[in-house]
Amino acid sequence: MIYERQEGVPKFDCTEFAGKTSDYALLIPVINEGDRIRKELKRACHYQVSSYVDIVICDGDSTDGCTNATALRRLQVNTLLVKKDMGKQGAQLRMGIWWALQRGYQGILTIDGNNKDSIEDVPRFIRKLREGYGFVQGSRFIKGGRAVRTPVMRMLAVRLIHAPIISLTARRRFTDTTNAYRAYSREYLCDERVKPLRDIFVTYELLAYLSVRASQLGYRVCEVPVARVYPRSGRTPTKIRFFKGNSELLKILYKNLRGEYLP
């Protein structure tokens, strides 16, 4: 089924392999992730993640075959959404959030599709949502979390720049703010003072904004321990290029700090 572009939501194609089976959806944005997403989904099958959430792939229109429908169905993916419009990760997430809210989910989780994160920790996020938290951030830097082979420059950037600025903006300390492994309550996402479905969120703006708005508005927020494991060798799986990417992230952080993303 094709959903035409509307305000705040890109045009996208939707293929449902199954109906709604859970109160929670796990959105996985991908673009040409190759074997990484397949390995991640195989781990999800091993840990029976689909018994806790409906797994939804939010594809940026990959061309490498990583979102083959037959393979995804076999790997217990509930739905495939394919963006057919402008925008990058922010647009993919807006697509997924809109669709999940329309389908009636009470909470939405997100995780990267590059097989670095502990997808088996999904139940930890759901427990917090059921306890009434509006925003739950995964962290490899708190007790019980694991940061394995994190590149030194990336570690320094998170600990010394990104986390302090996000924490200042949120008025609450967070430790692993570049981590897209997190969860949001329906109440938070539907709050008229939040409005995540806006076209200004193109790349990483939405993740930064949603990290801080919950605590600004008085929602209960917390971190839960997760693992993030970088590969032993080869190219680091990321869509962020060091100089250009980090420069853009800094611009986003300071716009967020100044309140430029507020509705």
pLDDT in tens, 74-97: 999 999 999 999 999 999 999 999
CATH number of the domain bearing residue 67 = 3.90.550.10
Q: Is residue 57 part of a domain?
A: yes
Containing 122, the helix (H) or strand (E) segment is helix 122-130
pLDDT digits (tens, 9 = 90+) for 22-36: 999 999 999 999 999
What gap in Å lies between CA 86 and CA 27, rounded to an integer? 19
Tell me which of 41-50, 161-170, 199-208, 233-242 is least confident.
Answer: 233-242
Mean pLDDT over the full length of the chain: 95
Q: Is residue 262 part of a domain?
A: no
pTM of the model: 0.94
Q: Is residue 263 part of a domain?
A: no
Which 3 state secondary structure label does DSSP give 31?
A: coil
Q: Is residue 118 part of a domain?
A: yes
Which 3 state secondary structure label does DSSP give 168?
A: helix
What gap in Å lies between CA 224 and CA 43, rounded to an integer? 20
Question: Could you give the percent of the chain with pLDDT greater than 90?
Answer: 92
Supply the pLDDT for residue 233: 73
What gap in Å lies between CA 96 and CA 139, rounded to an integer? 23
**C-alpha 42: how far from chain center:** 19
Long-range contacts (CB closer than 8 Å, 24 or more residues apart) made by 247-250? 248/203, 248/204, 249/162, 249/178, 249/204, 250/161
Q: Is residue 101 part of a domain?
A: yes
Count of domains observed in the chain: 1
Q: How confident is the model at residue 246 (pLDDT cuts 50, 70, 90)?
A: confident
Can you read off the two tokens belonging to residue 20?
């709604």
**C-alpha 13: how far from chain center:** 19
**Residue 144 CA: distances (Å) to CA of 140, 222, 223, 257:** 8, 14, 11, 30
Q: Is residue 174 part of a domain?
A: yes
What gap in Å lies between CA 101 and CA 259, rounded to an integer? 25
Q: Which domain holds residue 126?
A: 2-257
Q: How confident is the model at residue 231 (pLDDT cuts 50, 70, 90)?
A: very high
pLDDT digits (tens, 9 = 90+) for 44-64: 999 999 999 999 999 999 999
Which 3 state secondary structure label does DSSP give 250?
A: helix
Q: Is residue 94 part of a domain?
A: yes
**C-alpha 71: how far from chain center:** 22
